[in-house]
Amino acid sequence: MRASIPASAVVAAIVGFGGTLALIIAAANAVSATPAQTASWVTAMCIAIALETALLSWRSRMPVIAAWSTPGAALIAASAGFSMAEAVGAFIVTAVLLIVTGLFKPLMLLISKIPSSVASGMLAGIVVTFATGAVMTVPIDPWLILPLVAGFFIIRLFNPALSVLAVLIAGGAMAFLTGRVGGLPSLEFSSLDYIAPTFSTGAVMGLAIPLYLVTMASQNLSGLAVLKAAGYEPVPGKLISITGLFSLLSAPFGALTTNLAAISAAICTGPDTHPDPAQRWLTGPFYALTYLVFAVFGASLVAIFIVLPPSLIVLVAGLALMAPLANALSIALAEEGERMAATTAFAVTASGLTLFGIGSAFWGLVAGMVVIGMERFKKA
């Protein structure tokens, strides 16, 4: 045991939680969640992440780190016309799809064959609205926003992983010190609220399936790649099915899908954590313990976010998605022969199109697949 093990785990947990909690709040607002439901959402996710990480790290003896689906949260936040009950129904369907994917290798192979250019184009279309939304906060409160934007780009030159968290902490402090926030809410322990799910065709097609696809393509496959790059040999099916199981158990309490982490995992899998790869799995229990602390105080953390200026929340959410947007665009446009399909997926998804009650993410994926299919048919 080295001090670097718990240090890496705590940093990874704080970066993953604090850097994207604003996005979860935005997603909860999009489906008209009450403050109690939002607190339950965060608490249930934290518990699921803690249990997944502890179990998978201990059983596999690898630093298997879980997280919530950041692009999935962006997808929910960009949606419109869905209720919290429909969102819970979509989370359940997504969890079942993840379990089935992990259990049946042919389905896993089928998902992996979706062109990364089209999947990345769809993802870029989802998150680009948050990046532009962050820019639009400048005229709303320039004296608060502009220093934070400058700080973000300066800090990320030296430590990209902590740049968003630094903006959140600094922005919150500035908001309180300048009187933009009346006062801190009282300390409150978390509780779980059961939310009866509603299943509708629109929510399944417009939320569940796109959520499943972005979670697999942008989170689970990336998380597996991080482990492989660190020299480990994970068993994909087992890991994905277990994350799906915990997602299924936590969904009735409002929890968004949880999955394998990529950025947080990268913090825990390198030689800085421990020179011996066989010992790095010990980051899992410390990471899990940190998320249990977040779970206990989830209601208070959500209450703090709720009283912060809306422009600050929009800014933090947008800045948190700048790196995923850049990565998605670079992958989408990497293959010259697939650029039109990727651009089509991007444009349709970013348009916010709703057709037959189904959201733009699904139609973006369909449009991109149709275009790439036509191009491949012509070449054949």
Residue 263: the pLDDT is 67
Question: φ and ψ at 31, to 5 degrees?
Answer: -105, 20
Identity of the residue numbered 147: P
Residue 75: the pLDDT is 86
Give the residue carrying structure tokens 């996710």. 45
Rounded mean pLDDT, 85-98: 95
- Residue 373 token pair: 């299919």
Between the alpha carbon of residue 322 and those of residues 19, 69, 134, 141, 303, the distances in Å are 12, 16, 10, 20, 25
Interatomic CA distance for residues 269 and 226, integer angstroms: 8
pLDDT tens readout for residues 112-160: 677 878 878 887 887 788 788 889 989 988 998 999 999 999 988 887 7
Rounded mean pLDDT, 245-255: 95
Residue 108: the pLDDT is 74
Assign 66 to helix, strand or coil: strand
pLDDT tens readout for residues 268-320: 777 777 888 888 889 999 999 999 988 988 788 778 777 788 888 788 878 87
Interatomic CA distance for residues 45 and 35, integer angstroms: 15
Identity of the residue numbered 144: L
Residue 66: the pLDDT is 93
Interatomic CA distance for residues 262 and 268, integer angstroms: 10
Residue 186: the pLDDT is 73
- DSSP class of residue 219 equals I
Percentage of residues in the chain having pLDDT higher than 90: 30
Residue 176: the pLDDT is 85
Residue 328: the pLDDT is 79
Average pLDDT, the chain: 85
Residue 161: the pLDDT is 64
Identity of the residue numbered 76: I
Residue 237: the pLDDT is 86
Give the model's confidence band at 1: pLDDT under 50 very low, under 70 low, under 90 confident, else very high: low
Residue 55: the pLDDT is 95
Interatomic CA distance for residues 360 and 348, integer angstroms: 6
Rounded mean pLDDT, 18-36: 86
Identity of the residue numbered 114: I
Give the model's confidence band at 358: pLDDT under 50 very low, under 70 low, under 90 confident, else very high: low
Count of CB atoms within 10 A of residue 266's CB? 19
Residue 380: the pLDDT is 65
pLDDT tens readout for residues 30-74: 999 998 899 999 999 999 999 999 999 999 999 899 998 888 888
Give the model's confidence band at 79: pLDDT under 50 very low, under 70 low, under 90 confident, else very high: confident
Q: Which residue has the higher pLDDT, 247 or 299?
A: 247
pLDDT tens readout for residues 321-348: 787 788 778 888 888 888 999 999 899 9
Q: Residue 306 burial (CB < 10 Å; 0-12/13-18/19+)?
A: middle
Residue 69: the pLDDT is 85
Residue 251: the pLDDT is 96
Residue 45: the pLDDT is 94
